[in-house]
Amino acid sequence: MVSPSSRKGMLKERVMDLASPTTILPLLFGCLGIFSLLRLLQRIRSKAYLRNAVVVVTGATSGLGRECARVFHAAGAKLVLCGRNVKALEELTRELAASSSQGQTHQPFVVTFDLADPGTIAAAAAEILQCFGYVDVLINNAGVSYRGTISDTLVDVDRKVMEINYFGPVALTKALLPSMVERKQGHIVAISSIQGKISIPFRSAYSASKHATQAFFDCLRAEMEEANIKVTVISPGYIHTNLSVNAVTADGSRYGALDKNTAQGRSAAEVAQDVFDAVGKKEKDVLLTDFVPSMAVYIRTLAPGLFFRIMASRARKERKSKSS
């Protein structure tokens, strides 16, 4: 009969054997291999879902929109590229055409309009539908950022940011939605922001527009479930683009500077690939941020008092740095 102490010794030896590098490393590499394989299979499924799909990208002239155009074009999507700058859009279409593989990609269409001008959106939607006759995926990407204090910001600036970031995408979505409902097929994507879930100091107009975006498209998702229309809200953190450079300030002028956080953000190409993957997987709500911003979302919900103190401290530090 084996004594209890002997059994403990044998168990300890087996645990130590399992914990040895010669055992753990193959298991670890095996898990990583499986993860990589699953990701590859998902990427293949995403490409199959989006190949030959009609994809509309707003704000396609630069930054994330431009990179999304490249990723979706490479996957074989039929693109309709939208923006204000027709020369930039035509330059992008030439670039995409030059990178095309024989028989695998399609020549993009270009539709020029300004989300800040409500009177142009209905006509733009009609022009978009004329390109291919329908829309499979609408990516509401275009937007403007903002920097300023609430007390100094003109209400007209709040309205401008809300018009571009919220009312414009809502109007375009509503204009294209009936054709999707009629076909019982479609996918609407809203590029929001981590600031659509938490507010930070000196970003009031931007954060308000993104909070509204989150709420609207969450409602749309629920209402469109029976019509088989998918809705994805994507909330990135900082992306290394010219978003802060082109941001509006309290008096409506251009900010004209690349923020430190923006400069240290993820590349637009990397985020565009994440957008592609999220659309391919038909995800509903995607947070593309580092650990700390993600935790801030949970702190705001579970410990709001702590979150408010952190934000107040951040505001004090920003004011101090600007005055020094």
Which two tokens mark 163? 């018009």
The predicted model scores a pTM of 0.85
Confidence of residue 209 (pLDDT cuts 50, 70, 90): very high
Residue 12 inside a domain? The answer is yes
Residue 300 inside a domain? The answer is no
- Residues 257, 233 share a domain: yes
pLDDT tens sequence across 234-247: 999 999 999 999 99
Confidence of residue 45 (pLDDT cuts 50, 70, 90): low
Residue 308 inside a domain? The answer is no
- Residue 128's nearest CA partner among 164, 177, 90, 170 is 177
Average pLDDT over residues 271-298: 96
Q: What is the pLDDT of residue 23?
A: 61
Residues of the domain holding 162: 51-289
- Residues 262, 154 share a domain: yes
Q: What is the pLDDT of residue 323?
A: 77
Which two tokens mark 256? 């004209």
* Structural element, H or E, at residue 280: helix 268-280
Classify 323 as helix, strand or coil.
helix
CA distance 43 to 68: 15
pLDDT tens sequence across 13-29: 665 665 566 666 666 66
Q: Which residues pair with 286 in a beta bridge?
A: 234
Q: Is residue 223 predicted with pLDDT exceeding 90?
A: yes
CA distance 1 to 118: 86
Q: What is the pLDDT of residue 13?
A: 65
Q: What is the pLDDT of residue 104?
A: 75
Q: What is the pLDDT of residue 322?
A: 81
- Residues 203, 87 share a domain: yes
CA distance 54 to 76: 10
pLDDT tens sequence across 104-149: 789 999 999 999 999 999 999 999 999 999 999 999 999 999 999 9
Residues taking part in catalysis: 206
- Residues 63, 9 share a domain: no
Q: What is the pLDDT of residue 321?
A: 85
- Residues 21, 57 share a domain: no
Number of domains forming the structure of the chain? 2
Q: What is the pLDDT of residue 18?
A: 53
Average pLDDT over residues 204-223: 98
Q: Return mean pLDDT, the chain.
A: 91
Average pLDDT over residues 173-187: 97
Residue 313 inside a domain? The answer is no
Q: Is residue 37 predicted with pLDDT exceeding 90?
A: no
